[in-house]
Amino acid sequence: MEHRRTPGMLTLVSPAKVNLFLRILGKRADGYHELASLFQAIDLFDTLHFSLAKEDTLTCSDPTLSCDHTNLVIKALNLFRRKSGLQFCMKLHLEKRIPTQAGLGGGSGNAATTLWALNALHNFKFSENELQTWSSEIGSDIPFFFSHGTAYCTGRGEKVRDLPKLTLSPLSLFKPPEGVSTPEVYKALNLQLCAKIDPEKLLEDFYSGDPFFLNDLEEPAFRLLPLLRHYKTSLLEKGCSFAVMSGSGSSFLSVGASSSNLRKSVRRAVGSWYEEV
């Protein structure tokens, strides 16, 4: 993932992820949900520029994104300094391409990339395993980004089992203009309405060439934002062979949208940003 390296400076790409399936298994005493999900990194990415500096600054190509302590890049910087005991400041710039509130893990990937970069700038003082463990303190999806790209994640998402590369047809991603908030989607979840399928069986089916795409967070997301159900129906009506939401939404992944006519009609129906990954 490394682009270019000069002393004290680094430019890295920070990929997005999709959830090929996402099962919610129950609610935990700490308020989080126990999940089981097949995560896949995709070739849609942000770019992050790092340089050692006299004071901390974060700038972003997307002016709507906050660049203060709430940004996961700053949270990762503060986490690395706290864990390592090292004192330094950074000038950071984020070129954003991954849509936010999309269920594509853009912010989580940015945090993982930041931890990796800071460690690289300090001569790889810490192992990737250490960075991965630390990262779970600031977000459940961040540890996945230390995997090799395909992983089965359990617990609240932070237990990562690396898996062999999957052979899948190219996926199409649709991001409706509307976004949804992850905590709100989890709050709206009714566990009684979740699928009953054993996630280990779903995993087996993906590797035996009979994938079944499923997401237990669709139902609460659709209840919060009914337009999302309409988008899913439109994708199917326009000829996509399946359409499933990624993470807590609002983007959908699909196959079978590769003809340009279909893409145009889907774009008209969903009014959405489209990318093939």
Whole-number minimum distance, CB 187 to ligand C5P, in Å?
7
**Closer of 14 and 272 to ligand C5P (Cβ):** 14
Residue whose tokens read 């979740």: 194
Residue 208 backbone dihedrals phi, psi, to 5 degrees: -100, 10
Q: How far apart are CA 271 and CA 202, in angstroms?
A: 31
- Segment lying near ligand C5P (by CB under 6 A), choices 123-131, 135-143, 213-221, 254-262: 135-143
The one among 156, 159, 229, 263 contacting ligand C5P by CB under 6 A: 156
Stretch 29-88 residues interacting with ligand C5P (CB under 6 A): 32-33, 35
Stretch 170-229 residues interacting with ligand C5P (CB under 6 A): 182-183, 186
75, 96, 141, 216: the active-site residue = 141
Alpha helices in 85-181 (DSSP H): 106-121, 128-135
Burial class (CB in 10 A: 0-12, 13-18, 19+), 81: middle
Q: Is 134 in the site for ligand C5P (CB under 6 A)?
A: no
**Closer of 141 and 219 to ligand C5P (Cβ):** 141
Q: Are 266 and 274 in contact (CB under 8 A)?
A: yes
Catalytic residue at 264? no
Alpha helices in 136-212 (DSSP H): 182-188, 199-207
Q: Are 134 and 232 in contact (CB under 8 A)?
A: no
Q: Is 140 in the site for ligand C5P (CB under 6 A)?
A: yes
Active site residues: 17, 141
Q: Which residues bind ligand C5P (CB under 6 A)?
A: 32-33, 35, 139-141, 156-157, 182-183, 186
